Amino acid sequence: MPRRLIPLLALLALLVVLAGALLVLRGRPELAGPAQPSTGAGGAWYEVYFTAPKYPDRPEDRHGGIDERFVAFLDSAQRSLDVAIYDFDLANAAEALARAAQRGVTVRMVIDSDTLANTRDAEIQAALRTVRAAGIPIVPDEREAIMHHKFVVKDGVEVWTGSWNFTVGDTYRLNNNAARLRSPELAANYAAEFRKMFESHQFGPSKPPGVPHPVVTINGARVETLFAPQDEVASHIAARLREARQSIRFLAFSFTHDGIAQALLDRAAAGVVVSGVFERTGSQTRFSEYGKLKEAGLEVYQDGNPYAMHHKVFIIDERTTLFGSFNFSDGADKSNDENLLIVDDPGFARLFLEEFDRMIAAAKNPPPRRGRTSRERPR
């Protein structure tokens, strides 16, 4: 082969590789900032998803998101779906629940009363009509505090949970996370929480404590399940933060809990690197911990999403992840129905660290405008 052809062939091979990479990435939504995947990544027992908001949000760009993964999850149900959700307006999710009921799957739903009574949003009422028309029973919490869960138990063997509400806004405007977890023990824990609400109509402080498997080991990962308010979740979070030796990173939609903030200040004083991103809305009020942590010299930022950052995440020492529906607030700890998982697994944590890096980058380079945020109010 002539020597002059060798560089040309090498260049052609490189172009082929780059073309293949572009085909894989093509069609993924972009963040208002660095690119962010909405496809799932994970291990043998989990898949983790992150939303990929585009700014401005346009209906023609609403494809390839968590909602499509969620619909596939619902469509795979064979026996049962127990759904506990705070906010709900996704037509494709409602249709998937209806399809499940029509093929003989037992589908049950618990929802926040404010959502059920929200007649201003036509999309919510349309989704609820689809569910009701399929004969799916819905139990509201019927109280002032909120039923803030965002989880589904499928067939008694899988759980879907995270910060993501089943809405268009949470999918295509807000930064959110969701995880699909394959574990009969975790499913039993979430099923027990669901039964307290759906069958016994026990919400908030009226719920008795206890789940079948408070701590489980899955493929070598230690996983702890906590529900609010019965499990005093904030004190568990503070205790785990105080165990940090090298680093604590966090993403917070609402962070007003003094005890959790004090745990961060104590670890920072002990030499632990603490950094985090606050949702901008409410972060400059006297209730937010943002000002206190910033004044103490911690590396904290306001988020860069023009809409809202809705995560509720701590990552400790690059191996422990705390995530779920639980905002870092007194209301979440003492009044709301909430869930939090503590996962000790470096591979799991790595996925959330990548999201944290994206949020930090976006916070340092925010777009100039902000649009409408979530229907959810920090509380």
Catalytic residue ranges: 310, 312, 317
- How far is it, in rounded angstroms, from Cα 173 to Cα 309? 9
Asked if 166 contacts 172 with a C-beta cutoff of 8 angstroms, the reply is: no
- How far is it, in rounded angstroms, from Cα 64 to Cα 153? 23
Q: Is the dihedral of CA 66, 67, 69, 70 positive or negative?
A: positive
- How far is it, in rounded angstroms, from Cα 349 to Cα 247? 12
Cα 182–183–184 angle (5° rounding)? 130
- How far is it, in rounded angstroms, from Cα 221 to Cα 240? 16
Burial of 242 (0-12, 13-18, 19+ CB in 10 A): middle
Task: Quote the tokens at residue 207.
Answer: 């719920």
